[in-house]
């Protein structure tokens, strides 16, 4: 039972489908006021009402890895961090292999397929290569196409749309107030500019971030409200994977209760937005990862990530069945 009447009022407000305010979300984030089980009960009901019992699956393909000029504290691909990764250039990509990969994933039930590149801005040759691959996939597979290619111009956004891409992925990573602690080579406003460019070109936007990077609970709420203001389609929530060689390699992770509470509050704030469980979830939560779907997740990234391996498709389906979901 909730002993604080205000918390009950806020949960009832969210349950009715009304927008909660920033200060109200902070109350839900406070474990001394709002019990986690009551919060999850409400967030789960909101999720089921908006998305039913189905989990939307997306897969990513690393089209370029490493040598990024950005100094993001969490990222193994940054030249500013000392990480042992295999560099991959777009010139090494095989159109036919990627098309077959997309077709197989679609057969397994994956609805969206994203090509992801490192670096803040692709060269013209690199971008042309990516566009050609998207066109090949579009001709031969029915899967929805997403791109995550860093900074975007209006001309490039239009070319992606014409190639069959319907969604652009560009995370804000964290809250505005915390961003400078995570990255200094580009700004939070640079992120917002690319998101606006994608939306103006008629592309849906997938935008989220990473939790457990040393931010406060209030800063996680701040990120959720910034995303709500942008009116994006999909919100990936990553949990930090402290990779050796990055500036956050020794960062302590949130405990599972705090992760679940964050997911549930994001659901209360972003009621009709797709919340996608993304990287780091298995390392951070272990066998309790499936609880994230009951807390508010209705989508997931399947397969491998960028510089780290994910679980097998069979393991992912097992987690979904534990949570009572289908694909």
Domain residue ranges in the chain:
5-322
> pLDDT: is 317 or 143 the higher one?
143
| pLDDT score of 90 | 85
- Superfamily of domain 5-322 in the CATH hierarchy: Aldolase class I (3.20.20.70)
CB atoms within 10 A of CB 17: 11
Distance CA 75, CA 238 (A): 12
Exposure on the CB side of residue 267, measured as CA atoms within 13 A? 32
| pLDDT score of 1 | 47
Distance CA 29, CA 238 (A): 18
Above 60 in pLDDT, residue 288? yes
Angle at CA of residue 34, ends 32 and 39, nearest 5°: 145
Above 90 in pLDDT, residue 81? no
Distance CA 259, CA 285 (A): 8
Find out whether 12 and 44 touch, Cβ atoms under 8 Å. no
Above 70 in pLDDT, residue 238? yes
Q: DSSP of 52-99, one letter per residue? A: TTB-EEEEEEEEEBS-B----TT-TTBTTS------B-GGG--HHHHH
Backbone φ/ψ region at 210: left (φ over 0), alpha (ψ -120 to 50), beta: beta
Residue 308 binned pLDDT confidence (cut-offs 50, 70, 90): low
- Lowest mean pLDDT of 23-27, 252-256, 270-274, 280-284, name the range: 280-284
| Residues 139-155: tens digit of each pLDDT | 999 999 999 999 999 99
């Amino acid at each position: 039972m909730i002993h604080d009447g205000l918390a009950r009022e806020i949960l009832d407000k969210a349950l009715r489908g009304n927008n909660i305010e920033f200060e109200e979300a902070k109350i839900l984030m406070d474990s001394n006021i709002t019990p986690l089980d009551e919060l999850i009960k409400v967030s789960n009901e909101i999720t089921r009402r908006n998305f039913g019992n189905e989990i939307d699956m997306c897969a990513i393909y690393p089209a370029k890895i490493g040598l990024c000029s950005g100094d993001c504290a969490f990222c193994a691909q940054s030249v500013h961090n000392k990480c042992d990764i295999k560099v991959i250039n777009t010139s090494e990509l095989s159109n036919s292999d990627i098309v077959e990969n997309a077709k197989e994933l679609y057969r397994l039930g994956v609805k969206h397929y994203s090509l992801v590149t490192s670096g803040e801005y692709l060269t013209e040759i690199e971008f042309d290569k990516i566009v050609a691959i998207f066109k090949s996939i579009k001709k031969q597979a029915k899967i929805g196409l997403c791109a995550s290619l860093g900074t975007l111009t209006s001309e490039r956004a239009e070319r992606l749309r014409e190639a069959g891409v319907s969604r652009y992925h560009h995370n804000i990573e964290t809250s505005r107030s915390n961003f400078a602690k995570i990255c200094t080579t580009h700004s939070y406003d640079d992120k917002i500019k690319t998101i606006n460019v994608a939306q103006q070109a008629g592309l849906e936007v997938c935008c989220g971030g990473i939790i457990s990077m040393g931010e406060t609970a209030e800063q996680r709420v701040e990120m959720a409200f910034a995303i709500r203001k942008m009116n994006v389609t999909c919100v990936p929530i990553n949990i930090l994977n402290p990779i050796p060689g990055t500036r956050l390699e020794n960062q302590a992770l949130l405990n599972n209760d705090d992760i679940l509470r964050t997911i549930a509050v994001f659901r209360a704030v972003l009621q009709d937005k797709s919340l996608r469980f993304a990287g780091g979830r298995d390392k951070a939560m272990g066998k309790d990862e499936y609880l994230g779907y009951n807390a508010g997740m209705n989508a997931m990234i399947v397969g491998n990530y960028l510089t780290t391996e994910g679980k097998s498709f069979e393991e992912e389906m097992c987690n979904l069945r534990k949570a009572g979901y289908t694909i």
